[in-house]
Amino acid sequence: MSDWQDIWEQDGARQMWSIPDMQVVELAAKWKKSGVMHRVLDIGCGIGRHVHHLAKHGFDVYGSDHSESAIRICQQWLQSQTLSAEVWCGEMEEIPYPHATFDACVAFNSIYHGTYCRLKGIMKILHDKLRNGGECLVTLPSRENRMYGRGECLGPHTYLSPGMYDKLFSHDGERGVPHHFCSREEVERLFAGFHIQTLRHEELRLATVRGEAGVVWLPIPKAFFWRVVATRKDQNA
């Protein structure tokens, strides 16, 4: 059973991961306005904050996650709002749709939970499932992240988390979950089949609701991630 199975059973974790990331909100608005982005895939969708947001804004949404709890919570959330999306439980490589199915993809804090080799494989799959000109937002931990180099080393720049994200997840804080940390060069290599539109390096922010203050975005100190927005290169051009 995945560690994420336990993580998503905790109220604290669900709360921190229930408000959509601002960059996803901005991208969704841009995609909507373009009139050509309809079918969106969310890999490692968790409890579905982005699935939910995208479905609410009229996209045809598909989401996968290997945590059964996450998928169950995601489905209940969608049903409670009479929204629909295709969500399934599976490993991130299992995208049961043909080549070039999707106009866009979100892979937010998900596809780096393995070695570089696995990450490279999933980037290949993402490239295959996006149509030419399709766009993606992918986040990847950087080597300036405070978790870099901590915990058991599984391979070059990949570590089993010793549980340092205690503020993000209420008990063990991703203890035992593998993370691969990327350099800028590695990011550029992973996106060789794409045109990188923007490449940001910043601390992760997660939202919480604080009484009258409403939604407050909390930066997680030294939780540095790359945020890549990229367009799939037209292979026939």
Q: Which chain residues interact with ligand SAM by CB under 6 A?
A: 2, 4, 17, 44-46, 49, 65-67, 70, 91-92, 108-110, 113
* Shortest Cβ 234–ligand SAM spacing (Å): 28
Helix, strand and coil in the chain, % to nearest 5: 30, 35, 35
* Shortest Cβ 79–ligand SAM spacing (Å): 18
CA distance 166 to 63: 26
Question: Of the two residues 180 and 232, which places its CB atom closer to ligand SAM in the complex?
Answer: 180
* Shortest Cβ 236–ligand SAM spacing (Å): 31
Question: Of the two residues 66 and 157, which places its CB atom closer to ligand SAM in the complex?
Answer: 66
Are 73 and 47 in contact by the 8 Å Cβ rule? The answer is yes
CA distance 111 to 129: 15
Structure tokens at 231: 């367009």
CA distance 207 to 16: 6
Question: Of the two residues 138 and 187, which places its CB atom closer to ligand SAM in the complex?
Answer: 138
Question: Of the two residues 35 and 69, which places its CB atom closer to ligand SAM in the complex?
Answer: 69
* Shortest Cβ 89–ligand SAM spacing (Å): 8
Are 63 and 42 in contact by the 8 Å Cβ rule? The answer is yes
* Shortest Cβ 87–ligand SAM spacing (Å): 11
* Shortest Cβ 167–ligand SAM spacing (Å): 13
Pairing of β 102-107 and β 39-43: parallel
Question: Of the two residues 2 and 115, which places its CB atom closer to ligand SAM in the complex?
Answer: 2
Question: Of the two residues 56 and 233, which places its CB atom closer to ligand SAM in the complex?
Answer: 56
Contacts of 105 (CB under 8 A, 6+ apart): 40, 41, 42, 43, 126, 129, 130, 134, 135, 136, 137, 138
193: which DSSP letter? T
